[in-house]
Structure 1
């Protein structure tokens, strides 16, 4: 017992000697080099920036907090990265960060996170006029939250960087940010297990652009008046849930070689969106688009295609709302094993475009989709129409393969052909059929965002 009484104070003393020292707060003012203050800091210290404009090009090589007072600005002067982080567990918050270099090959950024900068926290900053806003170059476990990121407004959009670029950086969370201008809002390539949540995107090319990124989540985001809302390419096992595409120009959601995803509760809509407060300024000049994007038209009229599905397999499209697009779903013949049920197709000029010879039944477990142009009856009151619904007929296929035939659309011959198909279903070509269409739409997804 006496031995134990002697050992306890000694253990407490040793723990105090080898344990971590308390963090210090270092003050920085704009008339002194910020890098010198950072070099004096110890692990875990807080460097507090007083209001003023500081010279960028700084490098953070130890774990610390860089905290800005209101009015603290860090400017790169148009050269290199404004901030480069190489140490793990660095926090940067409350600073206006601007004017990086313009070298695309060097990936000049407002904040550049090296691979060793794991678990960085970038929060409550304003990044403006940088080539790339934030580049997460392999920094696993990092968090980018509640920032306003505005890219370059001048020059060709294809020569701008992205709001956040992410390369080979697993377990990254990008949440509650506002993105404007530049190329893509968030671009990710060769990564996994990332989460993009509750972000807002305005006047960019693609709001979210996925390439070779697996086992990740895109949820609760709001894309308004961009060229494409959500471009999902070469990625597997994603969760895409509760996102909105409001009057994006070409596509609300685009899938290209994307497999085994759950696409649930999303809303793609054209025209005014009454229950969401949005910026009413005119669209940005779209003449600087990359070559594969068509010239601009009035984006207020809604997406040309709510959803485009190309070589995309074994996905589950459920409880989505596709409204007032030129085409509700453009579905290509190279896509197999997809479940499409419980969705609402409202007021699209063409509900489905599918050029193929195989029959595809868009219903699951006795429940299909709601089609606003389906004049069906439900005599037994079970919520399912008494007859199947076909969104396309032989005339549609002719018009898609030979657009010049549109001049004959109101001719007697075309009307007789459509009447004959209705009387003799065997005349219908292969294509999409909903064997259990809904007679009433499912509940419309509703969302609320905080706006910056």
Structure 2
């Protein structure tokens, strides 16, 4: 009898699934059709394909459907400068190949091109797929809240440079999101590129972000990976705040004005194989104390910073406000007028297992020909600390009095204040190898959606 009941249950499940598959339809619409009515009348599993043209209005999707066009650039959703263009109110929705424009600019109302904000039965919304779309508007581009296992792939999001940066929305906003993949998107001229808050176990990978405030912005998020992204022409390439157990690897930032990477209250994280190039405050924005920093580490402890390149920043790395217990080794500090600014009264050794960092201004020698300098490198002395405390002293930095003070400190080390010491400085810059990573930057290429899905399943912790 029990076996018979189990058979009936299995038969019911199979028949229900088959019935749903049979009822699913492929629906073709033209701009003359009522898109909202078609969405309301659709069934779970339907595929709605939009013919070329413009579809005006603010549309709500309440069924588990695919809304698409055959080719990006053919079908346009025009929200006519108000509200959300597409409001998603179900799981397992796919938005593909659409051009979405002219949604609202009210940031308080979170006006977005694509917007999903509500849980379903008190649970996160699973399996939203947003891929290969072009979004151009004033508010937020893609807003996902209370979502899991989402894929945001190969989209282009453009903001409005006529608005002040603070008045624009973020390109891709991810809040309370888990086990999701943001991959191969281009975001520019919004406020921030990818903004992540209160989210765990996500992969932000191979995105390109430029002409923004921050490329990637993290807040209150744990156990996430930021890998192989590119940011340029930003105030900060990557602003990582109040988060822990982040893996930041293989990323690049160029032409930032204030920070290459900003680490503010980041703990238990690994920062490796990243490349920072050209962080310089514009002359018209120069004020006392505002200098471009390759790495700015503020109140961030128990982290590992290894195998990175910091090249041509006004300050290579600046540590302050309790940034202790940080392992720093294998990095290359190149052409930075101030290599290190370390504001603390504690000693720090920046080497591991007999290997330190490469410093382009190191003047030591290598008699043993083992690639390790024979003299210790100390990037700062007491004069540097005085200048940090009294910036006006910069005017006399090359005076005989200052040169004599530096000489005295070198001759009598007991007078040196605590600071950074690299006991095993490298004589040459190590190559930026990706051997420790699962995926090499040289092997990552643009892929279709099927390849992206495979990467997601392999990369995320379920």
| Partner of residue 430, structure 2 | 442
The reply on whether 1:43 has 2:44 as its aligned counterpart is yes
The residue aligned with 1:300 is none
Within 5 Å, which residues of 2 pair with 1:19-418?
Answer: 19=18, 20-22=20-22, 23-70=24-71, 71-116=74-119, 117-270=125-278, 296=285, 304-418=292-406
Q: Cα 1:18–1:406, aligned 2, differ >3 Å: closer, same or farther?
A: closer
- Give the distance between the partners of 2:285 and 2:87, measured in 1 at CA: 37
1:341–1:364 Cα contact (<8 Å) kept: yes
**CA–CA distance in 2 between the matches of 1:261 and 1:196?**
15
In the alignment, the residues of structure 2 paired with residue 353 and residue 210 of structure 1 have an alpha-carbon distance, to the nearest angstrom, of 24
Distance 1:364 1:112, change over 3 A: same
In 1, the alpha carbon distance for the partners of 2:352 and 2:16 equals: 66
Q: Which residue of 1 aligns with 2:457?
A: none
CA–CA distance in structure 2, aligned partners of residues 133 and 225 of structure 1 = 20
TM (normalized to structure 1)? 0.88
The one-character-per-residue Cα deviations of 1:218-272 (angstroms, maximum 9, x if unpaired) are 1100001111111010000000000001111110000111100010100000189
Higher-strand-fraction structure: 2
TM-score by length of 2: 0.86
Q: Distance in 2 between matches of 1:12 and 1:61?
A: 28
Q: CA deviation at 1:14?
A: 9.2
1:450 Cα shift? 6.7
Runs of 4+ with deviation above 3 angstroms = 11-18, 294-297, 444-451
Matched residues in 2 for 1:364 and 1:111: separation? Answer: 47
CA contact (8 A) 2:82 2:103 kept: yes
Contact 2:58/2:85, CA 8 A, preserved across alignment: yes
Whole-Å separation in 2 of the counterparts to 1:18 and 1:66: 21
Instruction: Give the Cα–Cα distance (whole angstroms) in 2 for the partners of residues 333 and 105 of structure 1.
Output: 33
Distance change in 2, residues 1:92/1:295 (3 Å): farther
Q: 1:211 and 1:14, CA in 2 relative to 1: closer, same or farther beyond 3 A?
A: closer
SS in 2 for 1:248: strand
Tell me the distance in 2 between the aligned counterparts of 1:61 and 1:130.
25
Deviation at 1:156, TM superposition (A): 1.5
In the superposition, relative to structure 1, how do residues 14 and 319 fare at CA in structure 2: closer, same or farther (>3 Å)?
A: closer
Aligned pair count reads 423
Distance 1:28 1:142, change over 3 A: same
CA distance 1:305–1:90, shift in 2 (3 Å): same
Taking only aligned residues, the RMSD between alpha carbons, in angstroms, comes to 2.6
Distance 1:225 1:18 in 2: 51
Counterpart secondary structure, 1:270 = strand
- SS of residue in 2 equivalent to 1:203: strand
Q: Contact 2:302/2:326 (CA < 8 Å) preserved in 1?
A: yes
